[in-house]
Amino acid sequence: MPGVIAAGGPATAMAGAAILEAGGNAVDAAVAAAFASFIAEIGVVHLGGSGIAHLYNPHTGKSVVYDFFSNTPGLNGPRPQTLDFSKVTVDFGATTQDFYLGRAAVAVPGNLFGLCQMAADHGRLPLAKLLEPALQMAQEGTAIEPFQASTCALLAPLYTHTAEMRRIFAPHGRVIQPGEHLFIPDLAATLAALADEGAALMQHGRLAQAIVHDQQKNGGLLTADDLARYDVYSVDPIRLPYRAYEILLPPPSSSGGVLIAFTLKLLAAFDMQHFPHGSTRHLQLLYEVMTATSRARPYWDQWSEELPVDQAIDRFLRETFVSQYQAEIQAALHGLRHTPFTPEPEAPNHTSHLSVIDGEGLAVSLTTTAGESAGYVVPATGFIPNNMMGEEDLHPHGFHTRPAGRRLPTMMAPTIVLKNGMTRLVVGSGGSIRIRSAILQVLSNLLDYGMTLSDAVNTARVHVESGALQCEHGCDPHAVDELEAIGYPVNRWPTRSIYFGGAHSVSRPEDGRLVAAGDNRRGGAVARIP
């Protein structure tokens, strides 16, 4: 089938394209590409992580969000006397950050459940066919891409934490280098079993048994009930009018979708013709809408805990609430004085995104993460678990305090844009809290400023953090200087950076062409089937 895919690496994109060429639809392509990414993009995602997918079918007008993010573990299981939960420190150059690894860092993994469910519900090809590209890479190994190798090097304390991890990521006594052969022992056998058994392998089959046995033996919290009772949520999106378009965003567990909707409602109050792209006025407006959303976020965090999800969304996006922040932005723009900055907690940073549209207009936006990995491999499986329970920012009230069985929140926000019911843009991003600002700017670049998709994705971006507007290399230096001169705090980045996200996107303009753009900050690649 004709189609396009944009993803976090060439092998991932090629896997999706191969499935389109074999007659699969966009869902088939996305599922196959995601499984391939767990090998080809192993610096940022693994099979043992979780994710959110967003589908839209223009022929039915129906959209569905598949939420297969991680649950808190520990259902019907005794708490070990000693937890396998150890801290490592990663040096990012300008700063360091602590991560926690081990069996007690593992949240219930959703990737396998969610991808199998999507394929069963909406795919055309059997799961075994969709797993062929990943299975071939697992059997033969694959050359690691530069971006993935650099990420492994950056996270060397995690990827060399145990002997099993060192055999994969440091087979020559040093962290794997670009172009070197990556091989994960036992993963091919696990994928072959998955092709035969489907999600049952993870629910109560051999993989589930191996994971739970390892957890029980080594101070973990994950139980057989956690896997047996895990549910993939199929939910309706948040639907938001914006200019001449309709934006479809994921609801919770995605906090990111709700917060992007809030920012878009703020931005919709302004005529962008008065804010030339990249100008001082434009940078000022971006600063103000981003900081306004950060100031509003504590209300969302509170209401989402206290109210049913639909009521919380309604209250947060209600015009009477949003208008207060619009008024503050107007006052700041007229007074040339920035409004207060409210810091926000980080989220898992190592994420990957892919976007697909097929020739029939079916669209899939899919984001996955494994945190940074739990630093070990489940014996005889090739399965590398996540470390979501070891992410400090996901547990503001302390580690292991959230009740078992509850979904963790995420900033992931796979997004779809419609015009007159037709798919116009499929976008999402990796990048922790920068997911929101990356998606916002791609949307505005395309919908407000009429950029080409490639320019919309790869134009220099900004983000507000640490009280300053972080300005990526490529921002107009004169505009940045003028913004600083009127009192706005800025931080100039000398290079392009993965910090600003990875918004691999596809679109279908009104002329019917299929267009794809990989984000060059994160090794983005595209593939097309005519």
- Stretch (H or E) spanning 462: strand 462-465
Distance CA 505, CA 524 (A): 9
- Stretch (H or E) spanning 525: strand 525-529
What is the span of the domain harbouring residue 323? Answer: 235-347+413-511
Q: Is residue 303 included in any domain, yes or no?
A: yes
DSSP-based three-state secondary structure for 39: helix
Main-chain phi, psi angles of 246, to 5 degrees: -125, 125
Distance CA 349, CA 346 (A): 8
Q: Is residue 461 included in any domain, yes or no?
A: yes
Q: For the chain, give the percent of residues with pLDDT over 90.
A: 87
Distance CA 395, CA 530 (A): 46
Distance CA 365, CA 371 (A): 19
For the chain, the farthest-separated pair of C-alpha atoms sits apart, in whole angstroms, at 65
Q: Is residue 493 included in any domain, yes or no?
A: yes
95 given a catalytic annotation: no
Domain CATH number, residue 320: 3.60.20
Query: What length does the chain have?
Result: 530
Q: Is residue 188 included in any domain, yes or no?
A: no
How many structural domains is the chain composed of?
Answer: 1
Instruction: List the structure tokens of 369.
Output: 């993460």
Strands (E), 205-349: 233-235, 238-242, 245-249
202-217 tens-digit pLDDT: 999 999 999 999 999 9
Region for 238 from its dihedrals, namely left if φ exceeds 0, alpha if ψ lies in -120 to 50, beta otherwise = beta
Q: What is the pLDDT along the chain (530 residues), one digit of tens a residue?
A: 999 999 999 999 999 999 999 999 999 999 999 999 999 999 899 999 999 999 999 999 999 999 999 999 999 988 898 999 999 887 766 556 788 999 999 999 999 999 999 999 999 999 999 999 999 999 999 999 999 999 999 889 999 999 999 999 999 999 999 999 999 999 999 999 999 999 999 999 999 999 999 999 999 999 999 999 999 999 999 999 999 999 999 999 999 999 999 999 999 999 999 999 999 999 999 999 999 999 999 999 999 999 999 999 999 999 999 999 999 999 999 987 788 887 776 655 678 999 999 999 999 999 999 988 999 999 999 999 999 998 876 777 788 888 999 999 999 999 999 999 999 999 999 888 899 999 999 999 999 999 999 999 999 999 999 889 999 999 999 999 999 999 999 999 999 988 899 999 999 998 889 999 999 999 999 999 99
Instruction: List the structure tokens of 289.
Output: 């809408």
Spell out the SS3 assignment of 372-398: CCCCCCECCCCECECCHHHCHHHCCCC
465-492 tens-digit pLDDT: 988 999 999 999 999 999 999 999 999 9
Strands (E), 135-251: 142-143, 181-182, 233-235, 238-242, 245-249
Cα dihedral across residues 251, 98, 170, 10: positive or negative: positive
Q: Is residue 289 included in any domain, yes or no?
A: yes
Catalytic, out of 263, 351, 367, 369: 351
Distance CA 391, CA 347 (A): 8
Instruction: List the structure tokens of 237.
Output: 């999106």
Q: Is residue 496 included in any domain, yes or no?
A: yes
Q: Is residue 316 included in any domain, yes or no?
A: yes
Q: What is the pTM of this model?
A: 0.96
For strand 233-235 and strand 245-249, is the pairing parallel, antiparallel, or unpaired? unpaired
User: Can you give the pLDDT at residue 341?
Assistant: 80
Q: Is residue 421 included in any domain, yes or no?
A: yes
